[in-house]
Amino acid sequence: MNPANLAPPPGPAGAAMPTLLVLPTGIGCELGGYAGDALPAARLLAAASGCLITHPNVMNGASLYWSDPRIHYVEGSSLDRLAAAELALRPVRRHRIGLLFDAGIEEELRQRHLQVADGCRATLGLEIGPVAITDQPLDVRLSLGASGVSWGELGQPAALLRAGQRLRDAGATAIAVVARFPDDPDSAALAAYRQGSGVDALAGAEAVISHLLSLELGVPCAHAPALSPLPLDPLLDPRAAGEELGHTFLACVLVGLNRAPALIPSGVPAAPGDLSIEAVGAIVAPASALGGSAVLSCAERGIPVIAVQNPCLLQVDAAALGLEVLPASSYSEAAGLVLALREGISPSALRRPLPSLAQGVGELVQQA
């Protein structure tokens, strides 16, 4: 990578350097494609940067979660809009989280979720409520795209938005959605996922639901699927184990939303502490999944793209797209690069060979 093409990270050396971490949902990433199994990498990057902005797919481990004031929990479409300078993030002390249930959820399963929410109120002190149920079942369907990536469909998007609007009108400043997902306990795809070799088939539909609500209502949103309990799998992969601990996937969503930054559209006057794309010093993404909106927006702005070796279904890498990136062989190395940028150390000085400046003089003369 030519360091001359890097935008200098904003702020003084050593100050927190807001960094985006993107792990696209439903593409089968070896690290980050399961039940919140990118959380250790996120914690490391938060320590290296002092300020990490990432999305629920990274942070949600069903019953497991980690709350770190340096990590900003931002739904994927809002993160894309932040990168495109369409909105800024405003840290909050806490939210009033509205709870939105799909009418397709059975009574007993809904009760399980309400008890999780009550547990989060009693044990963690979260502010949860009002509660709304959609006026018709949402009709969630799972599907894979041509590439094998998880997408998913939503039969009744207007019913989702009506319920979200009711919650926002009743004072909710963030929304946790629980939709009934189809049970398919005998499917080969589910077995592969639980044993650590498949795509999270639910992830695409989850992203569609939370993207739609966030875009239309302008408040932080995240989704938990409602599913019947699965039979014991003695071969369960540790990366999928977080989803086997309880009856719901809701606790992590409520904890994440509790302090998710408010979404401030561009054009609204900035307040002290607002985070905009101008403050972002780097974006970290899987090296073969660089074709998403946030990465392309950052690359167009000259924000360093740290491309981490993290195999997945896709082969959309820097060479294919013509992007200049800082390669990293692991998230540990990516954290080192983030720390270098934060401290004002040129990443090229950390690699060998280090080309002589004399090699570039001829190019400059020719360009002149």
Partner 1 sequence: MRLQPLLLQLERRPGPLRPQILAALREHGSPLRWAITAVHAPEAGPDAVVRLQVEAVVRV
Give residues in contact with partner 1 (CB under 8 A): 24, 76-77, 84, 143, 145-147, 149, 151, 153-154, 157-158, 161, 207-208, 211-212, 215, 289, 291-293, 296-297, 300, 314-316, 320-321
Q: How far is the CB of 196 from partner 1 (least distance, A)?
A: 22
Q: Could you give the C-alpha distances from 206 to 193, 203, 225, 278, in angstroms and in order?
A: 16, 5, 7, 29
Q: Is residue 99 within 8 Å of residue 178, measured between CB atoms?
A: yes
Q: How far is the CB of 26 from partner 1 (least distance, A)?
A: 10
Q: How far is the CB of 69 from partner 1 (least distance, A)?
A: 29
- Name which of 190 and 208 has its Cβ closer to partner 1: 208
Q: How far is the CB of 143 from partner 1 (least distance, A)?
A: 7
Q: How far is the CB of 323 from partner 1 (least distance, A)?
A: 9
- Name which of 3 and 145 has its Cβ closer to partner 1: 145
Backbone angles phi, psi at 175, to 5 degrees: -135, 125
Q: How far is the CB of 121 from partner 1 (least distance, A)?
A: 32
- Name which of 109 and 208 has its Cβ closer to partner 1: 208
Q: How far is the CB of 331 from partner 1 (least distance, A)?
A: 21
- Name which of 71 and 138 has its Cβ closer to partner 1: 138
Q: How far is the CB of 305 from partner 1 (least distance, A)?
A: 13
- Name which of 25 and 258 has its Cβ closer to partner 1: 25
- Name which of 158 and 230 has its Cβ closer to partner 1: 158
Q: C-alpha angle with apex 179: 175 to 182, nearest 5 degrees?
A: 160
Q: Could you give the C-alpha distances from 233 to 33, 152, 193, 199, 248, in angstroms and in order?
A: 19, 25, 11, 17, 17
- Name which of 157 and 246 has its Cβ closer to partner 1: 157
Q: How far is the CB of 244 from partner 1 (least distance, A)?
A: 28
- Name which of 37 and 75 has its Cβ closer to partner 1: 75
- Name which of 65 and 151 has its Cβ closer to partner 1: 151
